[in-house]
Structures are given as C-alpha cells and as structure tokens.
Structure 1
C-alpha cells in the first residue's frame, strides 16, 4: 500500500507539472515569463515548456470593451498574463478641449497601435492602456490649444498627423508603435454652432447673389452682342440689297438705252431718204406721251398747253411727213 501511495503521489506531481509547465500560446499573442521574480523569457506562439513554481507569467493590464444588454458599451481594465501583439483600437471617450480663441469643444478620438516589444510594454510602464489614454488626451489638448476653432474644424488631417507623430515618439520607449490616429467628432458649443450655421447661411446667400448678378451680367452681355450681330447682319443685308437693286436698275437702264438706240437705228433706216428727222420724231412721241399722262386723271378737267405748243405742232407735222414717206 505504501508503494502505491508513493507511486500515486509521483504520478500526481508529474501531472501537475505537465499541466502547469506546458503552455500553448496562440498566434498573435505572447507571455512574459519570470523566474523567481526576474525576467526569464518571452514565449512565442505554439507549445512552450516552463518550470512550475519557479517560472510564472507576468500579468499586465489589458483594456476590454464590454457591450451591455441595452446596447451601451463600457470600457474595463483587467489583469491578464496574455499580451496581444495584434493591432489594437482604443476608442477614447469624449473630452473637452479649449481652442486658441477660448472656445470649449468636445472631441473624441480613435487610436490604432500595436505592441512591438513585449518586454518594454511590461517593464517600462506600469499600466499601458491607462498611460496611452492619458497621453493621448493631454497631447490632444496641447495641439488643439495651438489652433483656433476654424482651423480645428478644417484641419483634421493635420491634427491627426501631428498627434500620431507625438504619440509614436512618446510610446516608443514602451515598445508600442502608433500606426494611426483619427478624430471622430469635433463638437463646438450650441451657441457657436448656431452662429456658424447663420454665418454659413449668410455666405450661401452672398454666393447665390453673386452668381445671380454674374448670370444677369453675362445674359445682358450676350443679349447686347446678339443685338449687335443682328444689326450688323441687317446692315450688311440692306447694303447688299441696295447694291443689287442699283445694279439691277443700272442694267435695266443700259438695256433700255440699248433698246432705244436700236429703235432709233431702225427708225432711221425706215425714214432713210425722207426729209423728216428721226430726232424730231422721237421728240414728238415724247410730247404725245406726256400729254396723254396729263389728261389721263379722273379729276383733270382743264388742260393747259405749254408755251412750246408750236414745237408740238411742228413735231406732229414731222410725223405726218414720216407717214407720207
């Protein structure tokens, strides 16, 4: 019986040592092992063996976000012997900061960081999550305190870059790499928001009036240019029309003159050998046509014979001689 008890105790000790000494580390995690209170090693992912009682994992503060039944979230800090080497996101609660022009503004930020040296994250800082949070808050206050409200609202990228540089440099000694910082919300006071809305409304109205005035100006300029072009085109058309009319009248007169010349030539040939003069014949015809026009009106009751009636009679005599010939 004594031998069995001893064998059982030995087996129990072996099992305890095996359970306590065998450590399985998941990918992306690690543990810092201390032997008799001093740093001994950093475990890698996979199966690791340590000496129970002599070796113990060092516990560190870890930040957790817990979601309640009502949907609200709560941030908790707990002790754990596992160090997460993956990139982590800290969503900091909203905090009040004062700008350069003394405007109190509420800002909350997101911080993306990663532990690159587990040894430094354990032994260079006592509470890493709390230190990162407080450092982010104080750095954000310092940066916003150098900017006016308008610059704060329009310079998020600049603030993010400056905040990341400062945090990355400060946390380097803790074995932490800050990859990115994002400002989620920048909320000025209600009175300032109302004033900004009124200012934006006034600015929009001013731009609308300017655009309307520029549109009216452009419309009037285009209308006047159109009128100018229309008048120029109309003047050119009238000019071309008058030129064509003058050319037509000139050609008509030329044709009429040619016709009269041909008529005179034929008349001269017809009366050749007669004592009558072709010119006198033409003059007599003109007198007759004129006298006809004078007596053609309805209201013409009295006809006055001009002083040159004797010439008319002479022309008639010439016509008589022509007819006789």
Structure 2
C-alpha cells in the first residue's frame, strides 16, 4: 500500500515538474489549450498542463533584420543595388503566432518587396540625397502591413547603394564641374567686392586730399619695414600744381610777345 502511494506521489511530482516553465523577462508564452488559443503568460515561472496545453515562446526584444541587396530600377531608368536594415519587435505575441505562419520570414519578404517598390518610384538623385524621406516611407508601408500580425516596425535605414561604374564616373564628373563652378562664382564675387571697396575708397579720397597723403605715408612705413636698399618716395601730385601753373603762365606770356 505504501509503495503504491509512493508511486502515485512520484507520478504527480513528475507531472507537476514537467508542466513548470521559466520565461525570461523578454519572453512570453503563447498557450494553446486543446488547440484553442488561451491568454499568453509570463514572464517568470508558469505552469502548462502536460498533454493538454502547448506553449510557444515569443521573444519581445527588438530584432535587427538585414535586408540583402535588391536590384532596383529607379524612376529615371538607372539600375542600382540597394540594401537596408530593418528593426522591429513583437507587441502582441498571440497575433504574431495566429495571424501569420512565420512572422520573421514574412517581415523579411515584405521589406524586400517594399524596398524595390519604393525605389522604383524614386529618381536616382532623390535616392542618393533624401535617404531620410525614403526610410520613413518604407517604414510606414511595412509597419502598416505588419500591424495585423502584432509586429511593430520601429526603424528602417538604407545601408548601401551600389551604382554601376559608368554612373559613378558620371556623378564624379558632375560633382567636379559643380565644384569648379562654385570656385569661379566665389572668385568673381570676391573681385566684385574688392572693386566695389576700391571704388568707395577712391571716392572718399577724392573728397579729402589729406587722406591720399596719409596713404602715401603708410606706404612709406611699409616699405621701410622691409629693409630694402632702395626706397621709392611717392611725391604727392598736389605739390607739382604750382610748378605747372607757373609753366603755363610763362608759356602764355612768351606766346603773346611776337604779336606786340
């Protein structure tokens, strides 16, 4: 009798221990009781009735999904290879199990087709320069499609855009031409500003002759500071005006004597 009780106790203990499950903080257990869905359980220690309930563990952590390079024909008929990375997580474990057979594979396929579709509606310049807009568009489309599966797409980032060699050379030549154009525009703008300042300075000096003489003195100081053996002394033109007037007076008087 005692041995029979011991066997029963042992069987009951094995039954209970076999039904105990430990779920980590980031895990949830989706329960099927005789084939019907029951509320999910976890985290911590849970009990699953052996042979009656079945458990499926679902990880709630963010999953990083690497989208392999896709052949994309842009709106302006340029063939490029585009790869991306997608971040998503399960927000409803029950729907992630019951609404789709394999949510990881389904999300991967959906991300690939969406990447090709969005890339085909975009021109090459927009694909290269407006990645943030394309990331947001792809993320919005994929998230709206995975929402019924209990999957939340949090981020999509384009990773690599591989261009054909001839297109790379064309873009490099275009960038070089653009840099040369900017350099010429900047040089022309500098010459224009310099000419404008010189014109303003000349106008100021014409109104105040003493300014020109001060400029002469400043030039002398700069020349003397260079320790040159020869110094050129700039003579103000105003000092020559009396001599020019005297020369005109003498010339005018000499011209009138033969007539007397």
What does 1:133-172 align with in structure 2 at a 5 Å threshold? 133-172=108-147
1:215 aligns with 2:190: yes
Change (3 A) 1:195 1:34: same
CA distance in 1, matches of 2:141, 2:111: 9
Give CA-to-partner distance per residue, 1:172-220, whole Å, 9 cap, x none: 1101111221112222222211111110011001110111111112112
Report the 3-state secondary structure (helix = DSSP H, G, I; strand = E; otherwise coil) of the residue aligned with 2:208.
helix
TM-score in terms of structure 1 length? 0.61
Compute the displacement of 1:8 (Å): 5.0
> How many residue pairs get matched?
214
1:69 aligned partner: none
2:27 aligned partner: 29
CA distance in 1, matches of 2:141, 2:40: 29
**1:234 alignment partner, one of 201, 205, 209:** 209
Change (3 A) 1:236 1:203: closer
**2:150 alignment partner, one of 158, 175, 185:** 175
2:98 aligned partner: 123
Report the 3-state secondary structure (helix = DSSP H, G, I; strand = E; otherwise coil) of the residue aligned with 2:68.
coil
Max radius of gyration: which structure? 1
CA-atom RMSD in angstroms: 2.2
CA distance in 2, matches of 1:201, 1:16: 77
Compute the displacement of 1:147 (Å): 0.9
What does 1:194-205 align with in structure 2 at a 5 Å threshold? 194-205=169-180
8 Å Cα contact 2:85/2:157 also seen in 1: yes
8 Å Cα contact 2:83/2:160 also seen in 1: yes
Compute the displacement of 1:94 (Å): 2.2
**2:54 alignment partner, one of 36, 53, 56:** 56
1:16 aligned partner: 14
CA distance in 2, matches of 1:201, 1:125: 51
Compute the displacement of 1:115 (Å): 1.0
Higher relative contact order (CA closer than 8 Å, sequence separation 6+): 2
Give CA-to-partner distance per residue, 1:211-241, whole Å, 9 cap, x none: 1111112112212221222222118999xxx
Compute the displacement of 1:7 (Å): 4.4
CA distance in 2, matches of 1:154, 1:98: 17
CA distance in 2, matches of 1:237, 1:207: 37
CA distance in 1, matches of 2:182, 2:59: 54
CA distance in 2, matches of 1:93, 1:223: 62
CA distance in 2, matches of 1:176, 1:40: 19
Report the 3-state secondary structure (helix = DSSP H, G, I; strand = E; otherwise coil) of the residue aligned with 2:25.
coil
1:291 aligned partner: none
Gaps of 5+ in 2: 214-237, 239-260
